[in-house]
Structure 1
Amino acid sequence: MESTNKADLPKASEASNNYSMGLLTSLLYDPLNYGYSAQEGETPASSSYQKFLVFILAIGLAFMSTIAVRGLLDTRSEKDSTHQQLLQQVRSEKAQNQRLLEEVEKLEEEVKTAATADIPLPQVSQELLAAAHLTPVAGPGIVATLSGGSSESSDSNIQDQDIRVIINELWRSGAEAIAINGIRVGPRTPVRTAGSSVLVNFQPIEGPYTIEAIGPANDLNRGLTQGSTGTYFSALYSQYGISLSATKSSKLNLPAMRVPQINTEKINVVTEEKK
């Protein structure tokens, strides 16, 4: 039996060290797939593909981020432009309002100055006063007399509408001034019936009624005796005995129209200081 030299046999400690170094190397270079690769005999995946994929994803993310940032910047730029336009409009409106306020204040000062100034009133011409029936007048014309019927019936009494028919016809025929029983009237003077009397410019008068009119006598007389007015009074005379007669006059004197006075005892004039 041959004898074996102990020096020729591998040492147990050296074999154990070699195995440990192999495990460390596998864990260092293939830490995830070492066990699976050893079991199935597969080769670990290359890290180059993973790096390429990560690179592509990074480029895509950077591109999308750039687009998003640019969109935000464009939107902000548009908002800033709109904001600046609105600010400009507001400044313009404020300036316009300020100019208007200054103009209003200037006009108010002018009004105050004019109100406190001692400015003489202009002289009113006599022609204007005569046209307004506010001054006595004289001239040729006609005198019409309206008398009620002799019957005791109320239909024989003269009504306000009968007098208004005469007045309207005289104005239409060219009358320049009219008076009823000495009361000067104008185109808008009220004539109303009050019981058995007639109110002219709120003054009661009794019949017979004398109506004086200054103007072209022939035209005035023709207007009362012909046309619709003549027919109207012809019917009144036939049915109720109401008569109308007219004569020419070379000169009539008519008073000024009375202007009703307004009671101002309770009126307080409001001045600028009291407001």
Structure 2
Amino acid sequence: MEGKTHRKRGELAVVAVFVVLGFLLALQLKSVRLYGSPTDATSAARLETLQELYNQATEERDKLQEQLDETQKELEDFRSAAATGDENAALKTEVDHLSMLAGLTDVEGPGVMVVMTDSTAENTTGDEADYLIHDSDLLTMLNELRDAGAEALSLNGQRVLTTSEVRCAGSVVLINGQRVSAPFVIYAIGDPATLYNALTMRNGVVDVLRQWKINVSVTMSDKLLIEKYTGVIPSEHLSPATQAEGEGAG
């Protein structure tokens, strides 16, 4: 089902690209009819540019989908192979454990839930940005949780991996290529008391944000569910390291 979901998403992305490009092409053809031959050369150049953009978008989509399908197939094949025979039970357990640590499976456990919303206080600095949550604030919060021993993290439902980007894009924040906006909800699985104390300590991250009237609540929980990562993990330039016998790691 997961593979079908990814394919459906990919197909929807391609349909969206066709719709946008079709609209742009229609406008371009209308321009050609209105202005006649003096714009023929310009129109041809624009059509060529649009065609190149379409080709690039299609190629990138196909490449990502192929990489995702291949990775998922390898994982399933490995799991199936590990599950055949009692002697491979330990190997299967190790595979499942590594998949969990890599963020490729849903996980649950105790931890804390952090909810962050933009300030509603009166603007006294003249700069509205001072009262909004930025990517740096989210990264500080996530890093503080990691340092306190968080074993799994999510931001607005997106699994946070070591490869996850968290950055501002206008009025929203990008995480794993997805746009999210306030309120920002962070789930962190780990020892609830340790995580809570790390965030709420005096002059800690929550204290600093509240000085700017940013609304932050931290709640301990006995059970949180963090869903698996569903995107593509970049590995185009990675390969297993090879080392000659007796050769040092340096």
If the length of structure 1 is used for normalisation, what is the TM-score? 0.48
Could you say if the C-alpha distance between residues 219 and 261 of structure 1 is closer, same or farther in structure 2, counting changes exceeding 3 Å? closer
Contact 1:140 1:250 in 2 (8 A): yes
Residue 84 of structure 1 is matched in structure 2 by none
Partner of residue 152 from structure 2, selected from 150, 153, 177: 177
Letter in 1 for 2:153: I
Percent identity reads: 34
Q: Secondary structure of the equivalent of 2:182?
A: coil
Q: Secondary structure of the equivalent of 1:154?
A: helix
Residue 100 of structure 2 is matched in structure 1 by 130
Gaps of 5+ in 1: 1-119, 263-275
Q: Secondary structure of the equivalent of 2:153?
A: strand
Partner of residue 234 from structure 1, selected from 207, 225, 229: 207
Contact 1:160 1:198 in 2 (8 A): yes
Distance in 2, matches of 1:162 and 1:210, equals: 13
Contact 2:163 2:233 in 1 (8 A): no
Distance in 2, matches of 1:227 and 1:129, equals: 37
Residue 256 of structure 1 is matched in structure 2 by 228
Letter in 2 for 1:155: D
Letter in 2 for 1:247: T
Contact 2:109 2:224 in 1 (8 A): yes
* Residue 236 of structure 1: how far off its partner (Å): 2.9
Q: Secondary structure of the equivalent of 1:149?
A: coil
Q: Secondary structure of the equivalent of 2:209?
A: helix
Following superposition, which runs of at least 4 residues in structure 1 exceed 6 angstroms of deviation? Answer: none
Letter in 2 for 1:243: N
* Residue 259 of structure 1: how far off its partner (Å): 2.3
Residue 113 of structure 2 is matched in structure 1 by 143
Distance in 2, matches of 1:158 and 1:224, equals: 16
Letter in 1 for 2:151: E
* Residue 136 of structure 1: how far off its partner (Å): 0.5
* Residue 187 of structure 1: how far off its partner (Å): 2.8
* CA deviation string 1:152-180 (max 9, x = no partner): 62221100000001111111111111111
Whether 1:189 and 2:149 are equivalent positions in the alignment is no
Gaps of 5+ in 2: 1-76, 83-91, 235-250
Q: Secondary structure of the equivalent of 2:198?
A: helix
Letter in 1 for 2:118: G
Contact 1:157 1:196 in 2 (8 A): no
* Residue 260 of structure 1: how far off its partner (Å): 2.5
1:190-205 aligned at under 5 Å gives the runs 190-205=165-180
Letter in 2 for 1:175: A
How many residue pairs match? The answer is: 141
Whether 1:225 and 2:197 are equivalent positions in the alignment is no
Distance in 2, matches of 1:179 and 1:261, equals: 16
Could you say if the C-alpha distance between residues 261 and 186 of structure 1 is closer, same or farther in structure 2, counting changes exceeding 3 Å? closer
- Radius of gyration: which is bigger? 1
Residue 91 of structure 1 is matched in structure 2 by none
* Residue 243 of structure 1: how far off its partner (Å): 2.3
